Amino acid sequence: MSSSHSTVPASRIIQPARSFRGSLALPGDKSISHRYAMLAGFASGTSRFSNFSTGADPHSSLACMEAMGAKVETEGRTIAVTGTGGKLSQPDSDLNCGNSGSTMRMLAGLVAAQQGTFRFTGDESLTARPMERIRKPLESMGAKIALVNGHAPMTVIGSELQGIEFDSPIASAQVKTAVLFAGLQASGSTSIAEPVRTRDHSEHALRAFGAELQRRDDRLHMMGGQTLQAIDATVPGDMSSAAFFLCASLLFEDSNLVLDALGMNPTRASLLDVITAMGGNIKMLDVQEQHGEMIGTIQVNRGRGGLRGIDISGQLSAQLIDELPVIAAIAPFTAGGVRIRDAKELRVKESDRIALVVKNLRAMGAEVTEHEDGLDVPGGQRLHGGTVDSGMDHRIAMAFSIAALRAEGDTEIHGAEASSISFPEFFTYLDELAVR
């Protein structure tokens, strides 16, 4: 099944804006949608999700679960997933993960304890991304995994698993999730420690579906052999998608943006702290909790002090890894500039995001210094319209569409259609909110 792919033209012209105003409810969080799709497909019973992500990636997860025996139906704006009761079938063909590293890495953990052989493939970008990071912990549990030079295609042969004590060498929510999904089916207990605490959507989702897991002494602990039951849930609006519009609201003195039903998970909400530090005023209008996830409505505008620079490094870089491109893209307009370090992970995303951010800032006339693990963008600069190369990376296409709102002259985004990977409605919403 595919998502509602919008017909975004391959190249798109972004005209400068005078302000940025309006209200909007964002499509469902991509990270949560992935996890709900996988766990619902694995659980007993039928789960129903409203506001499921419209991006292509979580629909790759749904399609893979369907290929392994789950039943997926669309009921109006609700997606219903009938699970397999913990027994996945060997698929008739390769599990195509499309562009989604989340699908491939997390599902590897789910199928590792199942009977059968599961071969994962994906598009050209996905086959270039590192998969060794999940192979090591899963094999130490007893899984059999074959990679091609550390990359996909990846073959997982289901085996009986034993729980392990795992100290993750990298801060990766996907690696943590793969180990948790395997640990759910292993004998004995599994515990995980991370160098930096990553987003905890998997922990909330597992608990929502009925699994028990505890955090003690900075380690997650979970007993194997647990079963999952279906849930009904509304997926909160996606914070990573909100990042583009939050940054846009910083670019204009009289901006006013209201975002409804936004996911406010504390491991993701550090973005709001950064928006505030850069000069944004954020008002919480409403906050509630569902299945462990906080959902809130916020109002954002730019404070009187103008747009301030920021230094992002260490744990903050890990927490903001998806949002760094758009923060860097608006950096020239800050008073003090933006410095980003400890973000080497950006080089192995859908593209080398550090290199592309540098290339495109320079194409729009900015000075920028590239570092192996980040970049420095001086403040007080002007951007002119130019030609942006998205590298077919959704976050690069969207980040520079935001920078273009304050550029002098029109900007052409090549590969604008990449936005449909995570946010098919992006350009429609951008046109509604940008005041020209």
Q: Which residues are catalytic?
A: 322
| β-bridge pairing 165-167 and 411-414 | unpaired
**173 with 345: CB under 8 angstroms?**
no
Determine the distance from the C-alpha atom of residue 313 to the mean position of all C-alpha atoms in its chain, rounded to a whole number.
19
- Measured CA to CA, the distance from residue 415 to residue 393 in angstroms comes to 8
**61 with 100: CB under 8 angstroms?**
yes
**114 with 87: CB under 8 angstroms?**
yes
Residues in the chain: 436
Handedness of CA 151, 154, 159, 164 (dihedral sign): positive
DSSP state of 337: -
- Measured CA to CA, the distance from residue 195 to residue 23 in angstroms comes to 38
Residues 6+ apart with CB under 8 A from 377: 328, 331, 332, 337, 338, 339, 361, 366, 367, 368
Handedness of CA 329, 330, 336, 342 (dihedral sign): negative
Closest CA to 426 of 77, 15, 5, 1: 5
